[in-house]
Amino acid sequence: MQHSIHWLRPDDPPDSFPDVAKALRDPDGLLAIGGNLTPERIILAYRRGIFPWYDDSQPIMWWSPDPRAVIFPDEFHISRSLRRTLRKGTYCVSIDQCFNEVISQCANSRFETGTWITDDMLAAYRQLHELGYAHSVETWRGDQLVGGMYGIAIGKIFFGESMYSAAPDASKVALARLVHLLQRTGVKLLDCQVVSEHLLTLGMRPIPRKSFIEYLNQYVDCEAAMPVWGQLPTPTTVPW
């Protein structure tokens, strides 16, 4: 049975989302339209398996696709070529040192085909970074920032948002460093939102939305693991 779309008003309470089971099948996962991008609404959305995704020509759109693409940290696959890159020591990695630049580069890298990282999204996630929810991983070649990624950490779940690369394997190096950190801190799941051929080669797999929600219910209220990031040296050179 196809459900009708739910419309949110900006003054609706932050948790005014319908059950994710009511998301559309076509387009897959579209659950609600409208509302706003306050930190409270965004975090409550993530906790329920929902994320914002839209472009400048659209209203705010909220999604919860089925299946959901995830990486279990222990299943992360490092190819031979990536392992060679890591061992060369060409790159070093830092944590939360250039969040604004990383998210801006993620947006800029998509300008040719259109970007879903709108100005409002940029402002919202920068605010989430200031509040300690949004984090970045930066890849450096010497003193040049050449890649990175960012996402949201809640409890023992990390919600990956976007990545970019301006040098060979630079985004993969950031992802590998992130997964290493997730393993160290006991994070159970890296959310990738939708299936990507690129990430499938790194161990991503789709799981039913129902299973994803069960993981959220079990782990988003656990003691947060990501504050460990702030205790790492700057920059962090990774001994691969």
> Same structural domain for residues 51 and 133?
no
Tell me the pLDDT band of 225, cut-offs 50, 70 and 90. low
- pLDDT tens per residue across span 22-32: 999 999 999 99
Assess whether 40 and 97 both reside in one domain. Answer: no
As a whole number, mean pLDDT of residues 75-103 equals 92
Q: Is residue 236 in some structural domain?
A: no
Residues 193 and 148 in one domain: yes
Same domain, 114 and 27: no
**Is pLDDT of 102 > 60?**
yes
In a domain, 240, yes or no: no
What is the percent of the chain with per-residue pLDDT over 90, rounded to a whole number?
79
- Output 88 or 39, whichever has higher pLDDT: 39
CATH number of the domain where residue 51 is located:
3.30.70.3550
Residue 123 lies in a domain: yes
Domain presence at residue 75: yes
Q: Are residues 124 and 202 in the same domain?
A: yes
pLDDT band at 126 (very low <50, low <70, confident <90, very high): very high
Per-residue pLDDT at 67 exceeds 90: yes
**pLDDT bracket for residue 4 (50, 70, 90):** confident
Q: Is the model's pLDDT at 231 over the cut of 50?
A: no
Instruction: Please choose, from the candidates 43, 25, 23, 44, the residue with its C-alpha nearest in 3D space to the C-alpha of residue 33.
Output: 23
Res 232: pLDDT: 44
- Give the pLDDT of residue 238: 44
Report residue 155's pLDDT band, with 50, 70 and 90 as the boundaries.
very high
Whether residue 239 is contained in a domain is answered as no
Higher pLDDT, 114 or 61: 61
Read off the tokens for 207.
């799981």
DSSP label of 140: E
Structure tokens at 174: 């950031």
Domain ranges, residue 26: 6-66
Domain for residue 161, yes or no?
A: yes
Q: Comparing 238 with 199, which gets the higher pLDDT?
A: 199
| 85-91 average pLDDT score | 90
- Select from 66, 91, 112 the last residue of a domain: 66
Q: Which of 103-112, 113-122, 203-212: highest mean pLDDT?
A: 203-212
CB neighbour list of residue 30: distance below 8 Å, 6 or more residues apart: 5, 23, 24, 61, 62, 63
CB contact at 8 A, 201 and 92: no
Across residues 9-18, what is the average pLDDT?
96
- Note whether 134 and 54 are same-domain residues: no
DSSP-based three-state secondary structure for 234: coil
Residue 91 reports pLDDT greater than 50: yes
Per the domain annotation, does 238 fall within a domain?
Answer: no
